[in-house]
Amino acid sequence: MIVSIIGTGLIGGSLAITLKEKGTASRVIGVDLDAAHLARAVELNIIDEGASLDVAMERSDLLVLAIPVDAVLQILPRIMDNIRPGQVIMDVGSTKAEILDLVKDHPNRGRFVAAHPMAGTEYSGPDAAVRNLFVHKTMVLCDVKNSDEDALELVENMVDQLQMRTVYMNAEEHDLHTAYVSHISHITSFALALTVLKKEKETGRIFELASGGFESTVRLAKSSPDMWVPIFKHNRSNVLDVLDEHINQLQQMKTLLELEDYDTFYKLIQKSNKIRKILK
């Protein structure tokens, strides 16, 4: 089948590489508002050709929206209006409730499958695209009962070819859980980077002392605001809720340190160690 990837960055590009490699796509057409990105994606052989959205819609069996959530919300209705029979549209955005709400009464709703691969890196753009980004990761499919059976099957087959596990959720569940396990990690990391950059004027010293632990907690702070601001915006209430709890936890630790109540502090750390059971 011919697949069009709208947005030839980290996720779209990595998807394109794998779909071509596996033979899932006989041809991959790339669409990107950023002409330099599109040219680079062709140069890197990530996509077979660049095209306009209209041309891509005319020629492809599957269209994948791999652009920031804001942009999905903008162009999805127009795409759904102009869909050809048999075509399937999927998005891979990081928030789902608003997107699904937007198209819930659309006459072509059945042709749309809402997906979110729980995979990524802190890098962006076509140069960030990599093989095997999705292997053994989780693909969340949302509100699949509203997708046509053949459209869902096409996406599910693709997910299998990507060697991903599939998890089914409704959009609200998805947005809640991703706020907890993904969005708050990014907020924390951005804030930590700002903290250290502000506190630590002699950047040479950071260079010298920063070790693995620091790198691992702040690496997400390299992530693109173009992707993340829309996520925080469209998952605002869940993110605010978990951010509030996170600030409370930090405040509690601060208070315990101020009071020099090291016994309670010890117990808190022990409690946090339970995360061992959840992480591999």
Window 259-278: residues binding its own copies (CB under 8 A): 260, 262, 265-266, 268-278
| Residue 27 or 219 having the CB closest to its own copies | 219
Is residue 208 within the footprint of its own copies (CB under 8 A)?
yes
Nearer to its own copies, 45 or 195 (CB): 195
Q: State which residue, 146 or 224, has the beta carbon closest to its own copies.
A: 224
The Cα 279–Cα 237 span in angstroms is 26
Amino acid at 185: S
Q: 121 or 146: whose CB is closer to its own copies?
A: 121
163 binds its own copies (CB under 8 A): no
Given a contact cutoff of 8 angstroms between Cβ atoms, the answer to whether 68 and 230 are in contact is yes
Using CB under 8 A as the binding rule, the residues of this chain from 35 to 74 that contact its own copies are none
**CB 105, min distance to its own copies, A:** 26
Alpha carbon distance 119, 131 (integer Å): 12
Both tokens of 108, joined, read 């072509």
CB-nearer residue toward its own copies: 110 or 265: 265
DSSP classification of residue 84: P
Q: Which is nearer to its own copies, 44 or 167 (CB)?
A: 167
Instruction: In angstroms, give the least distance from the CB of 261 to its own copies.
Output: 11
Work out whether 194 is an interface residue with its own copies (CB under 8 A): yes
- Residue 258 binds its own copies (CB under 8 A): yes
Cβ atoms within 10 Å of 115's Cβ, excluding its own: 22
Task: Spell out, one character per residue from 229 to 248, where the chain touches its own copies: x when CB under 8 A holds, - when not.
Answer: x--xx--x--xxxxxxxxx-
User: Is residue 249 within the footprint of its own copies (CB under 8 A)?
Assistant: yes
Strand 138-142 relative to strand 112-118, pairing: antiparallel
Where helices occur in the chain by DSSP H, the ranges are 10-21, 35-43, 53-59, 69-81, 97-103, 149-161, 171-178, 184-199, 203-209, 212-218, 225-234, 236-259, 262-272, 275-278
What's the closest the beta carbon of residue 190 comes to its own copies, in angstroms? 4
Q: Which residues contact 6 (CB under 8 A, 6 or more apart)?
A: 12, 31, 32, 53, 56, 63, 64, 65, 66, 67, 75
Q: Does 165 bind its own copies (CB under 8 A)?
A: yes
Judged by CB under 8 A, the chain residues 76 through 135 that form the site for its own copies are: 118-122
Give whichever of 84 and 205 is closer to its own copies, judged by the CB atom: 205
Q: Which stretch binds its own copies (CB under 8 A): 34-42, 61-69, 107-115, 224-232?
A: 224-232
Q: Give the nearest distance from C-beta 62 to its own copies in angstroms.
A: 24
Please give the torsion angle defined by the CA atoms of residues 228, 232, 234 and 235, in that order, rounded to the nearest 10 degrees: 130
Q: What is the dihedral of CA 196, 198, 203, 207, to 10 degrees?
A: 10
Size of the site for its own copies (CB under 8 A): 93
